[in-house]
Amino acid sequence: MEFGHVSTTDQVDFRLPPTHSQTVRVLAAHGRPAYHLQPQVYIGCPTWSNKAWKGTYYPAGITEKDYLHWYSQQFNAIELNTTFYQVPPLLLVQRWQEQVGPDFVFCPKLPQKITREWHLPFAKTLSLQFYEALLSLQEHLGLSFLQLPYGFGPSELDSLINYLQALPQEW
């Protein structure tokens, strides 16, 4: 048998295991509602604009402006990797939102200028721009995440905690 390969999925149990009792207790202690105990699975890629997919995954005649719409018909999430490099303009974010169905979510990565240098004063301004742009995704906004720099270690943990605690609660 090749690792991870099964000839048929008839006997595979795809259910998630029950939530551990300690997890239930921790979430309850922090006032988390019960829906946090009912996981939702989102599947996606880090990009929708891979030109190599044209003619294989995407139809041969599709234009780049239609990639996201086509992608969203097959997946229900995207790792919004582009936000790592720059904060997208509000109009662009609104165009993305218009191209996807109601159950699709964008999971933006915090810009590297924030995650690399959050102790600097401009991180606050850039954070405001980032969150204002991405909050416009409304119900299409999934979880945000950050990619810590290679050399991040315990000595930088206080800076990260201070940055996160300074964020407005609605973020």
Q: Could you name the CATH architecture of 76-166?
A: Alpha-Beta Barrel (3.20)
Q: What is the pLDDT of residues 90-132, one digit of tens each?
A: 999 999 999 999 999 999 999 998 888 766 566 778 888 898 8
pLDDT score for 120: 59
pLDDT score for 80: 93
Whether 167 shows a pLDDT value over 80: the answer reads no
Domain residue spans of the chain: 76-166
Q: What is the pLDDT of residues 37-90, one digit of tens each?
A: 667 889 999 999 988 999 888 999 899 999 999 999 999 999 999 999 999 999
Contact 77, 142 (CB under 8 A): yes
> How many Cβ atoms from other residues are within 10 Å of residue 21's Cβ?
8
- Distances 166 to 127, 133, 144, 160, 171 between C-alpha atoms, Å: 11, 18, 16, 10, 10
- Pairwise CA distance, residues 24 & 61, whole Å: 50
